[in-house]
């Protein structure tokens, strides 16, 4: 019986070949390494240029995103602030990226990097579906992304993402980052506010929860992180991924959420001054 | 991040009709982590003179203590309160004394003179005085504050309108700053009364 070979041709990347015809020997030729490649800049000091670019795009992952698996699927939540040093450049960034109707990715790190590579991942997943007549698994999708990011390791991409979704094996959650790590797990939080979110998430987490309870836990964890972390804020978006795909549960402004959790107490009046009763002359 | 952005702050003062307003945010942080949301940055020197200190929080507290000490000595010797212009010169001299190892603070001074004429001024961390007739700002949100005050300010505002204006200017500016905010503290001073308000803001 002949072995059925999976058709992988759709998964080849073919970005433009490096336009370095006058290779002066300081950087490798892409053909030899069989690595997907983008155009390299022509300059005298390639390594110095790379170091300068890395510093320029360094975002230090000022954000809070989290995702966890429970008995009814996966909850994915994120804040919506983008900051440049101390300045808030936007309070309405969409950090949960809809890769396809049953898979979500979160954005932490460089916004351009995350948006581009998630869309690229979505393309590859669709090509896989068309070639193989079945949806790609979450493990497979995260592996595709992780391999691409590993090949660009050290070149200054800044991505800390979680791939969450539902496939034939049930709910799936993977953490993938630009250093090349790919971890499977049940609970993750990524970004500068992640430690604050973990504090609330780990305390309230149970495997058996209703969808509303799980959504509320995620909302409180992100809210807590926006309160303590200066680089997180804006709105909390909470998504749920079930067997039929993802659905957005809520999007709440954090400014209003604070006064919802901690309403302003009217200070009790101890002594009140009133006008003296007027005496008729 | 620079030393001025270590704690994060926003201070603004505005002149109205025979009154002035001075306001600050309430956050105390250590770089990106928020430690407190009730930190005091505006200090009273005497009933008609207030100073707001932005920048490094420890220097703000130390400078405040030294200034209170100097003013109390002045009161004992002269048997009266200091005029705002004199106080501004005192602060400027105190800051320049530390020219080669400065206090990392930018003060905002606001007061009512003898004839109840409002006086505001700001300084950089080395004591360069900048007098203004309308508003002065300092802190990590100073650029946003300049924009907000420039568009919202009108001369000769009554105390109630001045309160609204300064609160809106402060809130909208710190909403564009990661390191300042988490509520606001506003003081309106007229010749007869002082009103302090704690204003609700975004807590993120």
Residue B32 is encoded by which pair of tokens? Answer: 């990106």
Q: Does B3 touch chain A (CB under 8 A)?
A: no
Confidence of residue A252 (pLDDT cuts 50, 70, 90): very high
- Per-residue pLDDT, averaged over B54-79, amounts to 96
The CB density around residue B200, as the number of other CB atoms within 10 Å, is 13
Edge to edge, the sheet with strand B105-112 lists B42-46, B49-55, B105-112, B118-123, B129-132
Residue A97 has pLDDT above 70, yes or no: yes
Mean pLDDT estimate for chain B = 95
A54, burial (CB in 10 Å: exposed 0-12, middle 13-18, buried 19+):
middle
DSSP state of B178: S
**Residue A274 among the catalytic residues:** no
Residues in chain B with CB shorter than 8 Å from the CB of A80 are none
- Per-residue pLDDT, averaged over B130-159, amounts to 96
| CA atoms B44, B45, B50, B51: torsion sign | negative
pLDDT at A112: 86
- Token match 């007869």: residue? B192
**Secondary structure, 3-state, A196-254:** HHHHHHHHHCCCCCCHHHHHHHHHHHHHHHHHHECCCCCEEEEEEEECCEEEEEEEEEH
pLDDT at A85: 80
**Per-residue pLDDT reduced to its tens digit, B154-193:** 999 999 999 999 999 999 999 999 999 999 999 999 999 9
Least confident residue range of A104-113, A185-194, B99-108: A104-113
Q: Does B29 touch chain A (CB under 8 A)?
A: yes
Contact B203 A255 (CB under 8 A): yes
- Per-residue pLDDT, averaged over A106-116, amounts to 88
Least confident residue range of A6-15, A124-133, A141-150, A251-260: A6-15
Nearest to B204 among A85, A192, A227 (CB): A227
- Token match 């898979």: residue? A103
Residue A5 has pLDDT above 80, yes or no: no
Chain B nearest-CA residue for A254: B204
Q: Does B5 touch chain A (CB under 8 A)?
A: yes
pLDDT at A16: 42
More confident site: B45 or A47? B45
Residue B112 has pLDDT above 90, yes or no: yes
pTM of the complete model beyond 0.90: no
Nearest to B32 among A87, A230, A258 (CB): A230
pLDDT at A32: 40
Residue A181 is encoded by which pair of tokens? Answer: 């790590």
Least confident residue range of A199-213, A255-269, B3-17: A255-269
- Distance, CA of B37 to CA of B109 (rounded, Å): 23
Nearest to B176 among A88, A258, A264 (CB): A88
Residue A199 is encoded by which pair of tokens? Answer: 């504090």
Residue A57 has pLDDT above 80, yes or no: no
Least confident residue range of A105-119, A224-238, B108-122: A105-119
pLDDT at A17: 45
pLDDT at A14: 55
Confidence of residue A31 (pLDDT cuts 50, 70, 90): very low
pLDDT at A34: 45
pLDDT at A30: 42
Residues of chain A whose beta carbon is less than 8 angstroms from a beta carbon of chain B are 62, 81, 83, 85-88, 91, 192, 226-234, 254-255, 258-259, 264
Helix and strand totals (H; E) in chain A: 7, 12
């Amino acid at each position: 019986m002949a072995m059925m070979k999976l058709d992988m041709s759709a998964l080849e990347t073919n970005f433009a070949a490096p336009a370095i015809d006058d290779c002066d020997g300081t950087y490798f030729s892409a053909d030899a390494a069989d690595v997907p490649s983008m155009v390299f800049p022509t300059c005298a000091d390639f390594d110095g240029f790379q170091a300068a670019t890395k510093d320029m795009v360094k975002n230090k992952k000022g954000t809070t995103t989290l995702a966890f698996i429970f008995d009814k699927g996966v909850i994915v939540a994120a804040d919506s602030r983008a900051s440049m040093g101390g300045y808030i450049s936007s309070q309405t960034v969409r950090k949960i990226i809809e890769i396809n109707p049953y898979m979500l990715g979160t954005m932490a790190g460089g916004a351009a990097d995350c948006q581009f590579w998630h869309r690229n991942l979505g393309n590859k997943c669709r090509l896989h579906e068309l070639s193989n007549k079945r949806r790609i698994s979450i493990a497979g999708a995260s592996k595709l992304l992780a391999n691409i990011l590993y090949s660009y390791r050290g070149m200054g991409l800044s991505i800390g993402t979680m791939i969450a979704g539902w496939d034939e094996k049930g709910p799936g959650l993977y953490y993938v980052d630009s250093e090349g790590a790919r971890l499977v797990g049940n609970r993750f939080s990524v970004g500068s506010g992640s430690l604050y979110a973990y504090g609330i998430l780990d305390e309230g987490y149970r495997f058996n929860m209703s969808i509303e309870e799980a959504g509320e836990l995620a909302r409180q964890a992100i809210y807590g992180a926006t309160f303590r972390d200066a680089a997180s804020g804006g709105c909390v978006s909470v998504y749920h991924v079930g067997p039929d795909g993802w659905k957005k549960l809520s999007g709440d402004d954090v400014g209003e959420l604070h006064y919802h959790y901690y309403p302003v107490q009217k200070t009790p009046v101890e002594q009140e001054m009133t006008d003296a009763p007027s005496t008729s002359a | 991040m620079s030393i001025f952005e270590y704690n994060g702050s926003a201070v603004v003062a505005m002149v109205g009709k025979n009154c002035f307003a001075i306001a600050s945010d309430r956050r105390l942080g250590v770089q990106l982590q928020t430690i407190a949301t009730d930190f005091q940055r505006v200090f009273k020197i005497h009933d008609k003179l207030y100073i707001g200190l932005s920048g490094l929080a420890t220097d703000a507290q130390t400078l405040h203590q030294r200034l209170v000490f100097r003013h109390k000595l002045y009161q004992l010797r002269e048997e009266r309160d200091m005029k705002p212009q004199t106080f501004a010169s005192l602060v400027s001299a105190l800051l320049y004394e530390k020219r080669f190892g400065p206090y990392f603070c930018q003060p905002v001074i606001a007061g009512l003179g003898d004839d109840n004429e409002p006086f505001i001024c700001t300084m950089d961390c080395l004591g360069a005085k900048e007098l203004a007739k309308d508003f002065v700002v300092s802190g990590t949100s100073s650029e946003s504050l300049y924009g907000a005050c420039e568009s919202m300010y009108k001369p000769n505002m009554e105390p109630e309108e001045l309160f609204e204006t300064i609160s809106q200017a402060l809130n909208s500016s710190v909403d564009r700053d990661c390191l300042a905010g988490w509520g606001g503290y506003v003081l309106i001073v007229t010749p007869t009364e002082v009103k302090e308000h704690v204003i609700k803001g975004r807590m993120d």
